[in-house]
Amino acid sequence: DIRGVIFDLDGVLTDTAEYHYLAWQKLADEEGIPFNRLANEALRGVSRRASLMLIVKDRQYSEAQIQEMMERKNRYYVELLKNITQNDLLPGAIALLDELRQAGIKTAIGSASKNARTVLQRLGIADKVDAIADGYSVQKPKPAPDLFLYAANQLGLEPAQSVVIEDAAAGIEAALAAGMWAVGLGPVERVGAAHVVLPSLAGIKWADIQAKLNDAAK
């Protein structure tokens, strides 16, 4: 049975995607590279370096230039993070975290972001989770299973005892590769590979997720 829940951060507990977008757009504009909100959709849950590669496409840059652009984008992003408050928690997030703690279910964050701890602090939920796996925890980014395996290990749980809640296709892929249960938030076109698909966490109780996972297991 399930004893732990691993939450993705951006797109599940909060929506930092807009800030990532604004930072990438500023960088792209400065570099004269075409970019827009639609192109940004492909960067959902994708690591910083992989995101930059998707933006620059086949343009050739040295490793030093790549590093500089990643650092510049991050400076813009970190500046924007100063705007985040508890009001930026997505509907249902706090309620589910609190309910899980009450029920004795372990919780972790599994985020690709190197800024995850800062975001959690600003959201005021850093002490509401039992473990944090972030962009510093493992080498291989999602869709590799490493980040979620690291998170489950931190909780002392086996993959089969863990459920991942994700909004990105790469994240669902990572959860399944880890041998975990996957709950996808958003359209089936994006997260349809998950065992259970929900529009969001708004109004979702732990019993709802358990019941849907039980159905999926039949």
Token pair in block for residue 166: 């994700």
The DSSP output letter for 166 is E
Binding mask 10-49 for Mg ion (x = CB under 5 A): xx---------------------------------x----
Residue in 107, 113, 137, 154 binding ligand G16, rule: CB under 6 A? 113
| Catalytic hit among 1, 10, 98, 134 | 10
25 binds ligand G16 (CB under 6 A): no
- Phi, psi (deg, nearest 5) at residue 7: -100, 130
202 three-class SS: coil
29 annotated ligand binder: no
Task: Tell me which stretch binds ligand G16 (CB under 6 A): 6-14, 27-35, 95-103, 209-217.
Answer: 6-14
Scored b (16 or more CB within 10 A) or e, 132-149 reads bbbbebbeebbbbbbbbb
Binding mask 56-75 for ligand G16 (x = CB under 6 A): ------------------x-
| Residue 179: closest CA among 131, 209, 145, 218 | 145
Q: Which residue ranges make up the site for ligand G16 (CB under 6 A)?
A: 8-11, 20, 43-48, 51, 74, 111-115, 135, 168
